[in-house]
Structure 1
Amino acid sequence: MDKQNFLLRNFSVAMGVVHKLLYRVTNAKLYLCIGIVLCTMTMGFTTYFLRHGLDSNYNRVIKSEGFQGKRSFDIENELFAEAELMSKSSLSTATVVGKVFAPPTVRTKNYMDKIIYNRVGKCGSRSMLSLITRLSSRNNFLFYASPVSNRTRVPLPESIKEVQVINNLPSPSIYSRHIHYLDLFKYGISGVVYINMIRDPIERFSSQYHFLRYGDGIKAQGRRYEPWEGGDKDMDINDCILKNHQLCTAGRLFYVVPYFCGQDFLCHRPSKESLYRAKVHVMENYLVVGYLEDFTGMLQVLEKLLPQFFTGSLKLWKDISADTMINTSTLKKQKINETAYAVLRERMEIEYDFYNFVKTRFRIIKKQMEIFDDDEAL
């Protein structure tokens, strides 16, 4: 037993004996005063002995490891370098020269190896699908595009089945479906990365309004799943808005936010609560959410954040964009006049709040990654 430990143990025993003697003192004030003094002395002596004991051990390490004559800063650097080297082995905790270092975060082979793209309708999703399909063969990953396209809200049993599909996909893979946000953590799934892209709300609504009626360059017919009533199919979009037709009212205009809010009932109706939850999910659970008006910027960000999947995406898009945009462009789009636009803008206040939030966040991400537009780089 070394000298410091011997003195510390005997000092502690002595303090215990004195404490028992003082317990017999009947004068409470005197007992309190003496007790405070003894406590102070105990803490002081304990700190002194512990410090000298650790310093002695540290000095022995310095001598035994050949660190004599070196500055303390250099010694600490060497110790941490050795700890980092040991942490790369299979050890869960590395003990280096008397100091314990917590293991670093381990990036397993599944690190950001599974991506969920719960694509929003008429927000460039088919252009992105075309791009990802080609990239999957070039970059050697699996792309799973769900055959289900018209069920964005799913009951619990179906949610569980969909989560099982996602969980069973091999790595690396990208999963895609028109579906509102699924809280995978609730189902015990972790390590999955969400991405998405949105669009100016009125432009998105106009594109969908005409797409459901007339289709696009790929298929020149409407995509509505139920028969049209009366003259609804050929109704002018301005008349739909100004006459307050049910197809152009607030309930039908609340479209993008639910994709990020989730499957809960409160996400089905426009409210401050649904908007707030959507923003929280974007901040906490989405790696990045871009917007269609800056599609190439989105590809630049994805190339840097997820190179395993999106390396070469920008060049590929330049090669295929002309044909892709012709094929996916909505047919017979009518222009929204100023009066109808103003009415629609007011009805879509929550959608625009969310859109502007996403735009601001995406621009910050681009700036952090030193991705600038041509005019910004000047």
Structure 2
Amino acid sequence: MLVRTFSYQWILIFVLIVIIFYENTRLNYLEDSSKKLRDTLLKVKTETKSDPLPRHQLRMQSNNDNYVVIYNRVPKTGSTSFVGVVYDLCKKNKYHTLHINITNNMHTLTLPNQIQFIRNISQWDSIKPAFYHGHMAFLDFKKFGLDISPLYINLLRKPLDRFISYYYFLRYGDNFRPHLIRRKHGDTKTFDECINAEQADCDPNNMWLQIPFLCGHDPACWEVGNEWALEEAKRNLQQHYLLVGVTEELSDFILTLQNILPRFFKGAHNIFIHNNKSHLRQTTQKIDPLPETIKKIQKTVVWKMENNLYNYALSQFHAVKKRLINASTQDASQRFFYEKIRPK
């Protein structure tokens, strides 16, 4: 009986030891967890003080600063006036503006240079956000395996107006650099006289420029009168360009960009309207063609195709402009939001 009582006492002592050990372990764990929680809260508080914006806003800000815009400007479409606005704004809106200068006035790059160009633009993070501009044909970044492409924009002009402007520009220059001697300086032959004499300078095939600029680097784009090139230019305009405006509505083009891309164009329209520097380049001397000259040009295949692209771009631009500048009450008040997000 004494042995059994003694055994019970040892069992009780053992149970008490186990309970005490368990309680000590639990207290140590709670104290350690509490310390970790305090450290975490202190860290969060410190990070919050150092961040001027909530983290999701910081991510949005970072994405905005990653923008790259390419304006592959077509010659004699008012591009200098537009780029003047871009340069006026770059310091204020905090982005970089870079001119793309291809040697020998070429509009397409060799394949190695295409790869190098895409690598430069994609990896040159210190220059972002960036606005690139130059007389270069469209280049599809996704063709080279990139998931992210730059934002392309452009301006087109009525093809005959652009052609005549370029004809006289080569002879008389413009008010941007009035003392520069142009290639055809001294040739006083009018555009009408050139057409009647069927000279190379005014060959309607020379109008073939806006189509290849939007079509791209494929050799077929630069084959005069190529129907595939026209359709490819339309496809690229629709699928790859953020906005294509027209020279005749340059003010509305800038106002539309101000609405859809304020990161670059905030305040652009006011500068364009009130700053004389924005209206830089006008051909010094230009004579309007005779009606019979216009009719002769408009019978050509190239004019019809170039005009087809221009009208397509004009209709696309008007559709965008209608919902922004001349917006209905429904469009002006449009918002979007997310709901029914699962799992909770």
Same-fold call, TM > 0.5? yes
Q: Which residue of 1 aligns with 2:192?
A: 238
2:171 paired with 1:213:
yes
Unaligned runs of 5+ in 1: 1-87, 91-105, 373-378
Partner Cα separation in structure 1 for residue 255 and residue 55 of structure 2 = 35
1:1-378 correspondence runs (5 A): 109-110=62-63, 113-148=67-102, 150-169=105-124, 170-189=127-146, 190-220=148-178, 233-269=187-223, 270-320=225-275, 322-325=276-279, 327-347=280-300, 348-371=303-326
Structure 1 contact 216–328 (Cα < 8 Å) conserved: yes
Question: Contact 1:117 / 1:194 at 8 angstroms: preserved in 2?
Answer: yes
Shift of 1:164: 2.7
TM-score between the two structures when normalised by the length of structure 2: 0.71
Higher relative contact order (CA 8 A, sep 6+): 2
The CA RMSD over aligned residues, in Å, is 2.4
CA distance in 2, matches of 1:308, 1:324: 19
Which piece of structure 1 moves more, 213-222 or 350-359? 213-222
Distance 1:176 1:133 in 2: 11
Work out the CA distance in 2 between the residues paired with 1:352 and 1:234. 28
Look up the equivalent residue of 2:324 and give its one-letter code. Answer: M
Share of identical aligned residues, percent?
A: 27
Shift of 1:89: 9.5
Instruction: Say if 1:181 and 1:263, in contact at 8 Å, map to a contact too.
Output: yes
Could you state the TM-score of these two structures normalised by the residue count of structure 1? 0.65
Kindly provide the CA deviation profile for residues 85-112 of structure 1, in whole angstroms up to 9, marking residues without a partner as x.
xxx999xxxxxxxxxxxxxxx9783357
Contact 2:214 2:237 in 1 (8 A): yes
Q: Is the 8 A contact 1:271 1:350 kept in 2?
A: no
Hey, what's the Cα distance between the residues in 2 that align with 1:258 and 1:314? 29
CA distance in 2, matches of 1:303, 1:184: 25
Give the gaps of 5 or more residues in structure 2: 1-53, 328-344
